[in-house]
Structure 1
Amino acid sequence: MKIIKYLIILLLVISCTHKNSKDNLNKRWKVDVSKIQVSVEIHDIANDFYNLNFSISNFRKKYPFYLSQVTPDSRFERDRRDSMELNIYSEIKKKVANDKIKAELEDLFKHIKYYYPDFKLPTVYLYSSFTSDYLNPITYIPQNNYLLIATDCFLGYGNKYYDMMKIDRYIQRTMSMEYLSSKTAKEIIKGMALVPREITSQSFVSQMIYQGKILILEDAFLPEIKDCYKIGYTQDQINWARDNEFEIWNFFIENNYIFSDDISLSDRFLSLAPFSKFYTEVDSQSPGQIGCWTGWQICRKYLIKNDQVSLQEFIKNPNHEQIFAKSKYKPSPDAEEH
């Protein structure tokens, strides 16, 4: 009986230690940004484009970067009267609140400036792409300091126009307002080249950690946003990943994938897809990009184990296999660990 009692106490201590470590990491991102002055300037291109009282020639003067110079005005006059385009714009006005976008972006930009003070606030432009930009609804152009957001790509899962355009449902799941801040953060992270591409190894674990670093920056820049929105999952998919973390890692270990430089692993586990390709019966249940999620957990474990390392030092460290070793990442078969 004493042995059983001892084991129960030990398990409780381990569980509490793990929870405290995760809580400490979450607290790390709860920084005070109240003194950082940020005011986002938003221009609604769509509102001007579909306003028939605003001539195309005046529109070109106001937004010289937007319309093709070789396309005649008559073509755009037809487009701005197209019934389908007007219906989609009507959906935007009903479902997308510019004030909400402004508030979310201001909070995001404050957090970016907290860690990277040289970040310059971009001018924000909202437009409608007629759903054509659904794979890349955010465009960040640091040279011009522009941030363009295709608001028609955030109308919500199952929107009738998305189905009419035959957009895959697994992509539609992130086409709602809850995912806008995360997608914006990702584009700024890439545009500023915050995560160096020059790494010491091209191994699978190194590629996973590269993706994990992007998600760690999202942790820092979006501390109030749920994990599912950061990685582009549903909450059920996050739960699946957490519940199966041990099995996922064990699969990578057993197949000698961790230090492999097989480029096909990126397509199977890191690329945007409806599911990850284990080539087993779990494929239909798994979310895509499970390697990105695993890299995120390795990075989080590293920061818990090495809390003296600053965010910027961690992100700049090109030795991803060293990060992996120092993370001591080894998920438990007990799902309650999460």
Structure 2
Amino acid sequence: MNRNYAFLLIFFAFAACENKECEIDPEIAAIPMEVSIERKEVPLFESTTSGEVRAFLEGNPTLADYFLDANQYPSDSVLANQMIRLIPHLDSLQMEVDRKFGDISWLESQYVSAFQHLKYYYPAAKTPKVQTMVTGFYRDIYFSDSLLVIGLDFFIGNDSKYKPDNVPAYIARRFKPDYIVPASFFFLSDYYNKVDYGDNTLLNEMITAGKTYYFTERMVPCAPDSIIIGFSEEELREVHKNEDVVWANFVQNQLLYETEPKLINKFMGERPNVYEIGEKCPGRIGAWVGWEIVRSYMENNPKVTLQELMEEDDPKKIFTLSKYRPNPH
């Protein structure tokens, strides 16, 4: 799973919970779990020769192949030579990462809680190794069932003088330390979210996104909705205030079963605003509506488990049984 400039959402915090219930179930908190984060950027930046970098790559093959894309180079030596030339230019970036992430015990604690939730809902789930890396904004997160790699340079915050190039402000505002754990579980949801890829409707896209958000919500239950969806708090207030207007746009324009990719992208893709609905309507509004539909489905069908939800790939069934109605304002 490789996504650059990930959909950096979600914030795991016990303060500022937007009135959500943040008390963790004692049964979940009692699940044995240990997470020790390996700072892989440290030995890499201590390398002084291409041979040492090559040894690093050979000693970390999964990280090399899937986070650094070593398999796209003719040999590890070619990548090692390129990296040893790059390392001196990343020195000050690495120093800023060290200042921001000198102590990561808080991050380990957050991963412990999130993986406890995963183990609760999916007892057979593996807990992957967790590693960090600094690449000069090459990749933010890689997640598999055995390894999670975090590009810390992506998460040093908006107050840093170092930022990825050509990233709009409405996306860049998500590049903060608090997003690391929730963004990781956004990626992880792909392993559990069954999707009918033959269904090209907007509704399928909406429900798929809604299931992803709902999964993340269950893994990091104290996450504010504004961060889960990647909206500002003001944007979230506006969409709730105008939920009936948003929904009317989808219904009146018969959008739910639309299959035209460009039109679907208007409501599901990254945009500062969905002007077709209103100047204050944030991008990915269809994903937010999908999340509300999935929430309504789970509320109105209390016997459905999280596992059953994630296995359900019939968006029309979820929509129908959700009995979704927007809150009138």
TM-score computed with the length of structure 2 as normaliser? 0.82
1:107 aligned to which of 113, 116, 123: 113
- 2:297–2:323 CA contact under 8 A, matched in 1: yes
Cα deviation code 1:13-39 (max 9, x no counterpart): xxxxxxxxxx9x969985731231111
Cα distance change, pair 262–74 in 1 and its aligned pair in 2 (3 A): closer
Report whether the alignment pairs 1:140 with 2:143: yes
Q: Which runs of 5+ in 1 are unaligned?
A: 1-22
Deviation at 1:59, TM superposition (A): 2.6
Q: How does 1:61-210 map to 2 (within 5 A)?
A: 61-65=58-62, 66=64, 68=70, 69-71=76-78, 73-82=80-89, 85-96=90-101, 97-133=103-139, 137-142=140-145, 145-162=146-163, 165-190=165-190, 192=191, 194-198=192-196, 201-210=199-208
Q: Which has the higher Rg, Structure 1 or Structure 2? A: 1
Q: Which runs of 5+ in 2 are unaligned?
A: 1-18, 71-75
User: Could you say which structure has the greater relative contact order, defined with CA pairs below 8 angstroms and 6 or more residues apart?
Assistant: 2
Q: How does 1:8-87 map to 2 (within 5 A)?
A: 30=25, 32-52=27-47, 55-65=52-62, 66=64, 68=70, 69-71=76-78, 73-82=80-89, 85-87=90-92
Cα distance change, pair 73–217 in 1 and its aligned pair in 2 (3 A): closer
Partners of 1:127 and 1:309 lie apart in 2 by 39
* Total equivalences in the alignment: 298
Cα distance change, pair 244–159 in 1 and its aligned pair in 2 (3 A): farther
- 2:22–2:222 CA contact under 8 A, matched in 1: no
Secondary structure at the aligned position of 2:115 is classed as helix
Task: Work out the percentage of aligned pairs sharing the same amino acid.
Answer: 23
- 1:270–1:291 CA contact under 8 A, matched in 2: yes
| Cα RMSD, aligned residues only | 2.5
Partners of 1:310 and 1:60 lie apart in 2 by 42
- Aligned counterpart, 2:6: none
TM-score computed with the length of structure 1 as normaliser? 0.80
Partners of 1:255 and 1:57 lie apart in 2 by 57
Cα deviation code 1:86-138 (max 9, x no counterpart): 111111111224212211111111111111111111111100120132xxx11
Secondary structure at the aligned position of 1:147 is classed as strand
Cα distance change, pair 321–200 in 1 and its aligned pair in 2 (3 A): farther
Amino acid at match of 2:184: T
- 2:21–2:222 CA contact under 8 A, matched in 1: no
- Aligned counterpart, 1:227: 225
Q: How does 1:242-281 map to 2 (within 5 A)?
A: 242-278=240-276
Deviation at 1:73, TM superposition (A): 4.1
The farther-off stretch of 149-158 and 52-61 is: 52-61
